[in-house]
Structure 1
Amino acid sequence: MKVLIIGAHGKVGHLLIGELQSRNIDFVAGLRSQEQIKAYNENNIETQFIDLTASLDDIKDSIEASGADVIVFSAGAGGAGYDKTIEIDLDGAIKTMMVAETIGIKRYIMVSSLFSDNRSKWEASGIRPYMIAKHYADDHLRGSGLDYTIIHPGGLSDEDGTGKVKLLGPNEQGMIPRVDVAKALALIIQNPNTIGKEYTFASGDQPEEDFFN
């Protein structure tokens, strides 16, 4: 197994690198700039240039070159504006799904958002374009032929992890450290029982090893 982390320079993606290293899981860091690639290579991390705004053929070439058979999508426009949000969080995500199906990568794990499926919450979130993008990217993934898992974590923090979570109901909110989200992803990667499932969660009392099963 080899995992391609699309968005490895983001906070969750970077923490996932540490989780995979600690579990001896082979991975490649998908990055969007040569400066990032240089910095990661200097730390002996295998990298792959991936531009989510590029053509479908270029993205296909990049993903094929990674040699991965699992994709974790943790990329995002990061508040760069409506146009970039649609281009990266929606179209970029869907292009990677299309490529995965074309080249035979079955396993695909999506880092989504809390309330991405609850339109009544979008306006109050203050990031409505992002929520729209996530909603339709998730929906496309559900309808694909991929062995998907989608996570919907609560509000993200940079606090120390607890390794414990809880299920959130349809209108519940909660916070969770990014390091615990990264751990969730690592557990999901290792557990085929998570295929076809979605998890909406925040910090709680249940060990993550028991929750993601």
Structure 2
Amino acid sequence: MNVFIIGAAGKVGSRLVSLLAEAGHVPLAMHRKSEQAQILADKGATPVAGDITALSVDELAERMDGADAVVFSAGAGGAGYDLTQAVDGDGLVKAVAAARKAGATRFLLVSAFPEAGRDAEPKEGFENYMRIKKLTDAHLSQSDLDWVIARPGTLSSEGGDGTIALGLALPYGNVSRDHVAQVLAGILERPQLSRVILELTDGDTPVADALDAMV
């Protein structure tokens, strides 16, 4: 399977690149910085240069040519209102249009848990981020693509032990980036999982079993 990854150089995307390459798939890894190309190639990816904020729909569709699926795991990372809109908001809308144009009908989006940050003092930038994530979830879910939206809890860089909680609605919690990448890879290999929003935290169920239970 050829999988076009937007955000491939990120902390989740780079983990997904490695998993897909190890499983015999072809990660088409879009990257913004030239120095990221070799790093991604060393992980087994085919590097594809591109900046989601600068490319047109047609230019992005050209880069997606030959892809069977698209994974959108890019994010501005709290870099401000304008960049959040450009990457998390407009970038997702652009990617959906490009995927349709390129014929890459399978589309996975890494979104955000609705309860994120509810135990902290509200901050305008974070509230804007959550507003944009909900709008992009709605945009993708109303498209004719074969989509799945993954909503992970608070991301951690701790190594995952391979056990998670996965469901349509879960209590809020933390989740290892390793687990998020494993779930994305597992969704790609389960075409029966389609047009569904899945919430994800660390838990007690092996990743494969948790995914199979949702099929």
Q: TM-score over 0.5 for the alignment? A: yes
Aligned residues of 2:64 and 2:104 also touching (Cα < 8 A): no
**Aligned pairs, number:** 209
Residues 1:125 and 1:75: Cα distance change in structure 2 (over 3 Å)? farther
Aligned residues of 1:122 and 1:128 also touching (Cα < 8 A): no
Quick one: distance in 2 between partners of 1:124 and 1:194? Answer: 36
Q: Which residue number corresponds to residue 49 of structure 2?
A: 49
State the secondary structure of the residue aligned to 1:162.
Answer: coil
State the secondary structure of the residue aligned to 2:67.
Answer: coil
Aligned residues of 2:116 and 2:154 also touching (Cα < 8 A): no
User: Which segments of 5 or more consecutive residues in structure 1 lack a partner in the other structure?
Assistant: none
Q: Which residue number corresponds to residue 151 of structure 2?
A: 152
1:52-82, Cα deviation, whole Å (9 max, x unpaired): 1122222222222xx2110000001122211
Deviates more, 1:17-26 or 1:166-175: 166-175
Q: CA RMSD in A?
A: 2.3
Q: Which residue number corresponds to residue 23 of structure 1?
A: 23
Please give the TM-score of this superposition, normalised by the length of structure 2.
0.88
User: Which segments of 5 or more consecutive residues in structure 2 lack a partner in the other structure?
Assistant: none
Residue type matched to 1:62 in 2?
R
Larger helix share, 1 or 2:
1
Quick one: distance in 2 between partners of 1:170 and 1:182? Answer: 19
Deviates more, 1:36-45 or 1:23-32: 36-45
Residue type matched to 1:141 in 2?
L
Q: Which residue number corresponds to residue 11 of structure 1?
A: 11
Residue type matched to 1:52 in 2?
I
Deviates more, 1:52-61 or 1:3-12: 52-61
Please give the TM-score of this superposition, normalised by the length of structure 1.
0.89
Quick one: distance in 2 between partners of 1:27 and 1:87? Answer: 24
Aligned residues of 2:26 and 2:45 also touching (Cα < 8 A): no
Residue type matched to 2:108 in 1?
I
Deviation, structure 1 residue 193: 1.5
Deviation, structure 1 residue 119: 10
Between the aligned residues of both structures, percent identity stands at 36
Aligned residues of 2:71 and 2:108 also touching (Cα < 8 A): yes
